[in-house]
């Protein structure tokens, strides 16, 4: 995460694929045209990449926004529509939740815990 090539790659990927708070999986036209939705796991991957490169405030901001796009049970689908943040695709999506948990662990490890001193 400290390698300048890694950091510049993260910034370039964000510059190219980050749109309205979410990440494209890719931006090429395919049989369906230009993608109109994000790939949920990719946004969590970006959050992780920002976190490990030291951009923790930006990572936390995007993470909190992502949490607000889950449904009333905190579940995610495979895709989120950019404009409305409506969930699309496979639901619930295991890979999205695995990325959510792995990302949440990063932030939970940042919290200072008080140390109990035994008498």
25-76 pLDDT, tens digit per residue, is 988 888 877 888 899 999 999 999 999 999 999 999 999 999 999 999 989 9
64-92 pLDDT, tens digit per residue, is 999 999 999 989 999 998 889 988 888 98
Question: Which runs of consecutive H residues, i.e. helices, occur in the chain?
Answer: 4-17, 40-52, 56-68, 94-108
Q: 56-68 vs 40-52: helix axis angle to the nearest 10?
A: 160
pTM for the complete prediction?
0.85
């Amino acid at each position: 995460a400290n390698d300048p090539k890694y950091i510049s790659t993260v910034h370039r990927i964000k510059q190219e694929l980050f749109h309205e708070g979410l990440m494209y999986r890719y931006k090429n036209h395919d049989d369906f045209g230009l993608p109109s939705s994000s790939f949920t796991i990719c946004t969590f991957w970006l959050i992780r990449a920002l976190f490990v490169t030291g951009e923790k405030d930006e990572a936390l901001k995007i993470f909190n926004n992502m949490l607000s796009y889950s449904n009333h049970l905190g579940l995610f689908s495979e895709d989120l529509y950019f404009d409305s943040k409506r969930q699309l695709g496979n639901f619930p999506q295991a890979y999205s939740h695995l990325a959510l948990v792995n990302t949440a662990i990063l932030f939970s490890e940042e919290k200072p815990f008080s140390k109990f001193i035994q008498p």
